[in-house]
Amino acid sequence: MPRKLRGLTSSKRHCTACANRWRAREDRPDAEPGKDCARCRFLVPTAGAFPEDWGVCANPDSGHDARVMAPGQGCVAFAAQTDPPLYEQPAQARRTHPRWASDLSDDEREDQCGDCRFFIPLDGAFALDWGVCSNPSAARDGSLVFEHDGCDQHVRAATGWGGAVPRRSLQRRGSAAER
């Protein structure tokens, strides 16, 4: 019997390797002091074991909208965090979805990103629809993906949805409260 493949969302080693790989590909200039994406209200963090302060920009006024952002990056469209964070607000996810979905193809596949073991979901109100591809063999590695997208490098996770994802990312919430 073949071994069931679990998702990689909870694998700290996998998520750290992805962060290192994606950071090495960065060609963006250093952020302006005090305008770190990790402290911007428009950052939608990744769920699970991904290194803290990584996420996807959801700022429609930023040139980084829908791009994976690393700690230390930022832009002139920076806006300080709010309480509760925007990514936890369903209205923000509803406003962002049509903008992000406008770049998607209509190629819905049977093997969808949402049940791939390399799918790293976003946190909060974005968790059910959006994530980041973490498959180093895939063309969209390090890119925002919709859960209904798919690719030829799909590897189905036994648990679906890229693996077990905590309903709330307690580590991230704890560290955010300390800021």
Domain spans, the chain: 12-174
Nearest to 175 by CA among 85, 99, 96, 105: 85
| Tokens of residue 58, six digits | 């959801």
What Å distances lie between residue 63 and 66, 139, 160, CA to CA?
9, 21, 32
Q: What is the pLDDT along the chain (179 residues), one digit of tens a residue?
A: 344 456 677 778 888 888 888 887 766 555 566 788 888 899 999 887 776 678 999 999 988 899 998 888 888 888 888 888 889 899 999 999 999 986 665 556 678 888 888 888 888 889 888 999 999 999 999 999 998 888 889 888 876 655 544 444 434 434 444 44
The answer to whether 118 touches 162, Cβ cutoff 8 Å, is yes
CA dist., res. 9 & res. 65, Å (int): 23
